[in-house]
């Protein structure tokens, strides 16, 4: 008998708190290869698909945390348009992120980088024996997060955890407990409500809004809807959405806001205004006092960038539950392979 649709993806989504704990235990035995005083003035972060969106998040986290200039680029652009990103005098460090470590463009981007500059190459990957790991000077491996699914869920969040650890160092025991317990509690309390939200047939378009580092996660949430549920989804920085895409906001739209910890009132206002146009909204990351049916509160004690990770499991649930509601199998997304390998 075939497996229930989404069985593997669902297990991987729910395993995140435990996999994060194991990943952090492993990371705490290592030293971060990113050195704020290492001479590199610029960090270039790259990946493809999910891992490109992760690169966007990691670049903002690194710039804030280390005070280096950090830029994210899709690996295909680094490979095919190298001169637009890197020149011979470049002093960059390249951080390449790939679950498989085998994606052609990401491995190729490392080669293109090496041909231009002697800068350090660091890899974050679930596969320590991969082509990417072999090509890098330093490898941060996250093998506990390997997946059966094509679509990235726990690998994405665990590689994000590794990026946060590289910038901020070891989280203390209290933070590890708080992070993993909160992620578990959120899944326990919100899996059912998010699953019923995903079953709302009035929704025909999904918008994900996130500012600063969270824009990368908004893009990843958009990708989950496209890959798993085959539906129209878009991602914007909070205030960018008013500049054109606003025309698409109506009763058929769900707008999901990934709120920041610091004074999210301007972000709340965008959601309020979208509701006034008829949209359904979901605010993820409200304060505990705010609450409400379509507001997922996060505890105040977990600081960014760790707090951002708590946004992810419920976004995974939304994509997966929407796919199942539409009769699709999130474990078997259309046209996709776990690794994109291109001919030379
Ligand atoms: C990146 C990626 C995934 C995507 C797809 C193909 O892989 O683009 O984000 O979901 O199924 O591969 P990787 O380089 O992180 O292994």
Q: Whose CA is nearest to atom 12 of ligand 1?
A: 339
Interval between CA 52 and ligand 1 midpoint (Å) = 9
Residue 150 near ligand 1, beta carbon < 6 Å = yes
- pTM comes to 0.95
Distance of CA 141 to the CA centre of its chain: 17
What pLDDT was estimated at residue 156?
98
Residue 109 near ligand 1, beta carbon < 6 Å = no
What pLDDT was estimated at residue 342?
87
The atom number, within ligand 1, closest to the CA of 338 reads 11
What pLDDT was estimated at residue 258?
97
Residue 50 near ligand 1, beta carbon < 6 Å = yes
Residue 100 near ligand 1, beta carbon < 6 Å = yes
Residue 339 near ligand 1, beta carbon < 6 Å = yes
What pLDDT was estimated at residue 5?
83
The atom number, within ligand 1, closest to the CA of 151 reads 10
Spatial distance between the Cα atoms of 144 and 60, rounded to a whole number of angstroms: 25
Mutate which of 105, 340, 342 for ligand 1? The one with the most ligand atoms within 8 Å of its CB, which is 340
Spatial distance between the Cα atoms of 226 and 190, rounded to a whole number of angstroms: 22
Q: Is 252 left (phi over 0), alpha (psi -120 to 50) or beta?
A: alpha
Secondary structure in 3-state letters for the chain: CCCCCCHHHHHHHHCHHHHHHHHHHHHCCCCCCCCCCCCCCEEEEEECCHHHHHHHHHHHHHHHHHCCEEEEEEHHHHHHCHHHCCCCCCCEEEEEEECCCCCHHHHHHHHHHHHHCCCCEEEEECCCCCHHHHHCCEEEECHHHCCCCCCCCHHHHHHHHHHHHHHHCCCCHHHHHHHHHHHHHHHHHHHHHHHHHHCCCCCCEEEEEECCCHHHHHHHHHHHHHHHHCCCEEEECHHHHHCCHHHHCCCCEEEEEECCCCCCHHHHHHHHHHHHCCCEEEEEEECCCCCCCCEEECCCCCCCCHHHHCCHHHHHHHHHHHHHHCCCCCCCCCCCCCCCCCCC
What pLDDT was estimated at residue 78?
97
Mutate which of 74, 78, 97, 99 for ligand 1? The one with the most ligand atoms within 8 Å of its CB, which is 99
- In order along the chain (344 residues), what is the average pLDDT of each group of 10 residues? 77 97 95 71 94 98 94 97 87 95 97 93 98 98 94 97 96 95 96 96 98 98 96 97 96 97 90 95 84 81 95 97 94 85 82
Of the candidates 46, 105, 36, 97, the residue with the CA atom closest to the CA atom of residue 69: 36
What pLDDT was estimated at residue 34?
83
Interval between CA 99 and ligand 1 midpoint (Å) = 7
Q: Whose CA is nearest to atom 11 of ligand 1?
A: 338
What pLDDT was estimated at residue 204?
97
Mutate which of 9, 12, 45, 49 for ligand 1? The one with the most ligand atoms within 8 Å of its CB, which is 49
Interval between CA 5 and ligand 1 midpoint (Å) = 21
Q: Whose CA is nearest to atom 4 of ligand 1?
A: 49
What pLDDT was estimated at residue 37?
54
Query: Does residue 189 contact residue 16 with C-beta atoms inside 8 Å?
Result: no
Distance of CA 338 to the CA centre of its chain: 16
What pLDDT was estimated at residue 38?
54
Residue 49 near ligand 1, beta carbon < 6 Å = yes
What pLDDT was estimated at residue 333?
84
Interval between CA 199 and ligand 1 midpoint (Å) = 27
Q: Which residues pair with 235 in a beta bridge?
A: 208
Spatial distance between the Cα atoms of 79 and 62, rounded to a whole number of angstroms: 23
């Amino acid at each position: 008998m075939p497996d229930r649709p989404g069985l593997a993806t669902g297990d991987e989504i729910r395993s995140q708190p435990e996999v994060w704990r194991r990943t952090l235990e492993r990371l705490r035995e290592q030293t971060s290869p990113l050195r704020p005083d290492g001479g590199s003035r610029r960090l270039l972060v790259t990946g493809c698909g999910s891992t490109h969106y992760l690169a966007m998040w990691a670049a903002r986290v690194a710039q804030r945390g280390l005070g280096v200039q950090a830029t994210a680029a899709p690996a295909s652009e680094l490979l095919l348009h190298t001169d637009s990103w890197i020149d011979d005098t470049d002093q960059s460090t390249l951080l390449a992120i790939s679950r498989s470590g085998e994606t052609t463009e990401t491995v190729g981007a490392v080669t293109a980088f090496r041909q231009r500059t002697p800068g350090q190459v660091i890899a974050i990957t679930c596969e320590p024996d991969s082509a990417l790991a072999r090509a890098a000077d330093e490898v941060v491996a996250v093998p506990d997060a390997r997946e059966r699914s094509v679509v990235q869920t726990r690998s994405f969040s665990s590689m994000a955890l590794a990026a946060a650890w590289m910038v901020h160092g070891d989280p203390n025991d209290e933070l590890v407990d708080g992070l993993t317990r909160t992620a578990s509690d959120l899944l326990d309390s919100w899996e059912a409500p998010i699953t019923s939200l995903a079953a709302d047939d009035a929704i025909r378009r999904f918008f994900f809004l996130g500012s600063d580092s969270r824009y990368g996660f908004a893009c990843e949430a958009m990708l989950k809807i496209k890959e798993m549920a085959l539906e129209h989804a878009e991602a914007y920085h909070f205030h960018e959405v008013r500049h054109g895409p606003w025309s698409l906001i109506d009763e058929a739209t769900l707008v999901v806001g990934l709120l920041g910890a610091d004074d999210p009132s301007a972000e709340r206002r965008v959601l309020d205004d979208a509701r006034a146009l008829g949209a359904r909204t979901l605010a993820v990351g409200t304060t505990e006092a705010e609450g409400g049916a379509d507001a997922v509160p996060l505890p105040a004690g977990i600081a960014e960038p760790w707090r951002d990770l708590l946004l992810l499991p419920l976004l995974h649930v939304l994509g997966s539950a929407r796919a199942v509601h539409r009769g699709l199998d999130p474990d078997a997304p259309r046209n996709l392979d776990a690794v994109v390998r291109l001919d030379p």
